[in-house]
Amino acid sequence: MHYVNAKSILSAQNGMNLYRGCSHGCIYCDSRSKCYHIEHDFEDIEIKANAIELLENSLKRKRKKCMLGTGSMTDPYIPLESKIGNVRKALALADQYGFGFTLITKSNRVLRDLDLLKSINDKTKCVVQMTLTTYDENLCKKIEPNVSTTKERFEVLKKLNEVGIPTVVWLCPILPFINDTEENIRGILQYCIEAKVYGVICFGMGLTLREGNREYFYNQLDRLFPHMKEKYIRTYGMQYQLSSPKHNELMKLFHQVCEDRGIMHDNSKIFEYLYNFEEKNNPVQLNLFD
């Protein structure tokens, strides 16, 4: 790990990256792409030393409350968070200043902060987004070696539902010829049904590969799935968007199951929900002289 001083912390959409780089080792990670300009070794986590100070200053200056977010580039609950605690500190500030919060993770470490997540959700809205890629536990350990298994994440989703915290699942990526099966999609969606998730985000059955993450992904295919890299190259060449040959049938299955079980599956509506700030428990003040 190494420290840097950041000039700012919140994006125009009120998202933040408290860390840059990751140690989870997911073989398909898009954040390895060169377009994100992570110049250091990806596993050498960059910590923004002044992140919490910048965040508090930003929240004090904001004229309107909003939803804050983290996790789009780096999972907030990488192992280093247990030592540094920046995510917990950010949640505490959101709770203190009355902001909503949403985060994306693959780790059951999120339950460490259940007290703050619940406190935020009691006042406004806190949504935990969880990525699920494969129902098969053994396959999960191969393609996402250093994170909570899918079943462990499912248990997190159930726990969050039990305490009233809404959840959204990202169904991605679906790797062609590896986890693009009806059994896999049905298994993941059954978890979503049992955990009573609010919605499932899915942009298609496949994955994206750009310079940087393509090379890493193919190296991992060589190591884990002999001859699979050659099959990918024959099928897709240097394409950015790698769509599963089963895309149409699996998307039809996805939408049908979600529709039948009352799970939101319109991406735009889910994002609208995620970014919409809601204030709860704010009774109208009565004037004693009225």
pLDDT in tens, the chain (290 residues): 999 999 999 999 999 999 999 999 999 999 999 999 998 999 999 999 999 999 999 999 999 999 999 999 999 999 999 999 999 999 999 999 999 999 999 999 999 999 999 999 999 999 999 999 999 999 999 999 999 999 999 999 999 999 999 999 999 999 999 999 999 999 999 999 999 999 999 999 999 999 999 999 999 999 999 999 999 999 999 999 999 999 999 999 999 999 999 999 999 999 999 999 998 865 444 443 33
Rounded to 5 degrees, φ, ψ at 111 are -70, -20
Give the whole-angstrom CA distance, residue 9 versus residue 57.
10
pTM score, two decimals? 0.94
What pLDDT score was predicted for residue 281?
A: 65
- Whole-number Å distance between alpha carbons of 249 and 260: 16
Alpha-carbon distance of 216 to 26, in angstroms, equals 10
Domain ranges (residues) in the chain: 2-275
pLDDT, tens digit (0-9, with 9 covering 90-100), for 20-37: 999 999 999 999 999 999
Residue corresponding to tokens 């942009």:
203
* pLDDT, tens digit (0-9, with 9 covering 90-100), for 31-61: 999 999 998 999 999 999 999 999 999 999 9
Evaluate whether the domain defined by 2-275 bears CATH number 3.20.20.70: yes
**Mean of per-residue pLDDT scores for the chain:** 95
Could you tell me the CA-to-CA distances from 276 to 94, 119, 125, 149, 164 in Å, in that order?
15, 18, 9, 30, 18
Task: Determine contact, residues 229/221, Cβ cutoff 8 Å.
Answer: yes
